[in-house]
């Protein structure tokens, strides 16, 4: 086996955080049950927070971020996982305080490892990544709250971001009419590639739906990825017994709403966590993502990048300028 591997390392120097592609000795990888050679990783907002030194995500530096990894098992002490298995790891502590997928190797506990489902390649798995799993969990929760496509439009925020774009692609594939909320002028991407029926700007959405205690009941459901006044507006514009999922706080962690949408219209606010879900439930969602939920134009949602391009992409995400997903190919 190789003695060194390439990784994007984040080092702290007097409170300043620097990222650099480095050769790391294999001896430095912490020993866990399963060693994986990573073929692909993907870039998520949390990676940008980790790489910029956000201590809420990563406490210990030097650190290799990357909350997602897909690759082949090199060695395993678990009887359920064999050398050569193709696997996915997302969430738990990967890329937070455990070295993550921005390195060519990861070493993880066996109960973090998901076997790659049939009908999904390692590349496709990372086109989806944590964003895809989170989108899948959001769709799952909406459907299990009784939100059917015949009940009317659903609304998705952060439309050009990772979770938002894949959520739109899944819901439109399932036949739902999707209204996309976006801060960008990306008509072709949002309507033709993702399949949304229409787009509303962030500003217009907030002005239309977040001004009063309750607004016009226009949506049967929503998938919110940004929080703040957009999530408040979605809650206030749900139809009777509607539901909205919440997974992220790109805009704000605060929401402002009275209890009226909940007690007068039966609105439901559904929290989504993709990190600590039991591995069996993650597997169930991955199997749906591999088959009937696989976005039709998955490859058009992603940009493939090399490890050397990562630093710039992480900055793009922090600035809110992401467009779809970024997949790191460790062979480039």
Ligand X SMILES: NC(=O)c1ccc[n+]([C@@H]2O[C@H](COP(=O)([O-])OP(=O)(O)OC[C@H]3O[C@@H](n4cnc5c(N)ncnc54)[C@H](OP(=O)(O)O)[C@@H]3O)[C@@H](O)[C@H]2O)c1
Which residues of this chain interact with ligand X, rule CB under 6 A? 44-46, 130-131, 134, 158-164, 182-184, 202, 225-226, 230, 247-251, 272-275, 317, 320, 322
Q: CA 160, CA 147: separation in Å to the nearest integer?
A: 23
Q: Which residues, other chains included, contact 117 with Cβ-Cβ below 8 Å and sequence gap of 6+?
A: 283, 286, 287, 289, 290, 291
User: Shortest Cβ distance from residue 325 to ligand X (Å)?
Assistant: 7
Q: Taking CA 42 as the corner, what is the angle to CA 87 and CA 250, rounded to the nearest 5 degrees? A: 130
161 or 221: CB nearest ligand X = 161
Q: CA 117, CA 283: separation in Å to the nearest integer?
A: 8
User: Shortest Cβ distance from residue 92 to ligand X (Å)?
Assistant: 11
71 or 136: CB nearest ligand X = 136
User: Shortest Cβ distance from residue 249 to ligand X (Å)?
Assistant: 5
Q: CA 233, CA 178: separation in Å to the nearest integer?
A: 16
User: Shortest Cβ distance from residue 200 to ligand X (Å)?
Assistant: 10
Main-chain phi, psi angles of 41, to 5 degrees: -130, 180
Question: Measuring CA to CA, which residue among 271, 267, 265 is closest to residue 246?
Answer: 271
3-state secondary structure of 205: helix
Q: What is the DSSP letter of 30?
A: P
Question: Measuring CA to CA, which residue among 79, 63, 76 is closest to residue 24?
Answer: 63
Q: Which residues, other chains included, contact 139 with Cβ-Cβ below 8 Å and sequence gap of 6+?
A: 167, 170, 171, 174, 223, 293
Q: CA 331, CA 6: separation in Å to the nearest integer?
A: 11
Is there a contact between 314 and 144 (Cβ–Cβ < 8 Å)? Answer: no
33 or 304: CB nearest ligand X = 304
User: Shortest Cβ distance from residue 320 to ligand X (Å)?
Assistant: 3
9 or 190: CB nearest ligand X = 190
End-to-end alpha carbon distance in the chain: 20
User: Shortest Cβ distance from residue 74 to ligand X (Å)?
Assistant: 28
User: Shortest Cβ distance from residue 10 to ligand X (Å)?
Assistant: 18
24 or 124: CB nearest ligand X = 124
35 or 269: CB nearest ligand X = 269
User: Shortest Cβ distance from residue 2 to ligand X (Å)?
Assistant: 31
24 or 285: CB nearest ligand X = 285
Is there a contact between 245 and 138 (Cβ–Cβ < 8 Å)? Answer: yes
- Point out the residue whose Cβ comes nearest to ligand X: 161
236 or 265: CB nearest ligand X = 236
């Amino acid at each position: 086996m190789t003695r060194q591997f390439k990784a994007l390392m984040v080092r702290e120097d007097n409170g300043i955080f620097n990222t650099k592609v480095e050769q790391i000795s294999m001896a430095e990888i912490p020993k866990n049950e399963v060693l994986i050679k990573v073929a692909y990783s993907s870039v998520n907002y949390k990676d940008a927070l980790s790489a910029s030194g956000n201590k809420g995500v990563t406490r210990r530096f030097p650190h290799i971020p990357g909350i997602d990894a897909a690759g082949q098992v090199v060695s395993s002490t678990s009887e359920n996982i064999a050398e050569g298995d193709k696997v996915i790891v997302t969430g738990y502590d990967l890329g937070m305080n455990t070295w993550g997928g921005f390195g060519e190797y990861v070493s993880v506990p066996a109960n973090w490892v998901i076997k790659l489902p049939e009908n999904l390649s390692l590349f496709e798995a990372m086109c989806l990544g944590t964003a895809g799993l989170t989108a899948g969990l959001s769709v799952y929760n909406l459907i299990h709250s009784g939100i059917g496509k015949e009940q009317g439009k659903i609304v998705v925020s952060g439309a050009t971001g990772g979770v938002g774009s894949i959520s739109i692609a899944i819901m439109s594939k399932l036949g739902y009419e999707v209204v996309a909320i976006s801060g960008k002028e990306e008509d072709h991407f949002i309507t033709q590639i993702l399949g949304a029926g229409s787009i509303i700007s962030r500003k217009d959405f907030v002005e239309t739906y977040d001004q009063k205690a309750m607004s016009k009941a226009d949506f049967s459901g929503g998938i919110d990825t940004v929080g703040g006044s957009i999530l408040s507006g979605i809650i206030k514009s749900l139809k009777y017994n509607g539901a909205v999922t919440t997974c992220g706080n790109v805009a704000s962690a605060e929401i402002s709403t009275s209890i009226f949408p909940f007690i007068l219209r039966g609105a439901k606010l559904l929290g989504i966590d993709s990190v600590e879900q039991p591995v069996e439930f993650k597997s169930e969602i991955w199997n749906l993502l591999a088959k009937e939920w696989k976005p039709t134009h998955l490859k058009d949602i992603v940009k493939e990048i090399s490890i050397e391009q990562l630093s710039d992409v992480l900055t793009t995400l922090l600035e809110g300028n992401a467009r779809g997903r970024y997949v790191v190919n460790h062979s480039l």
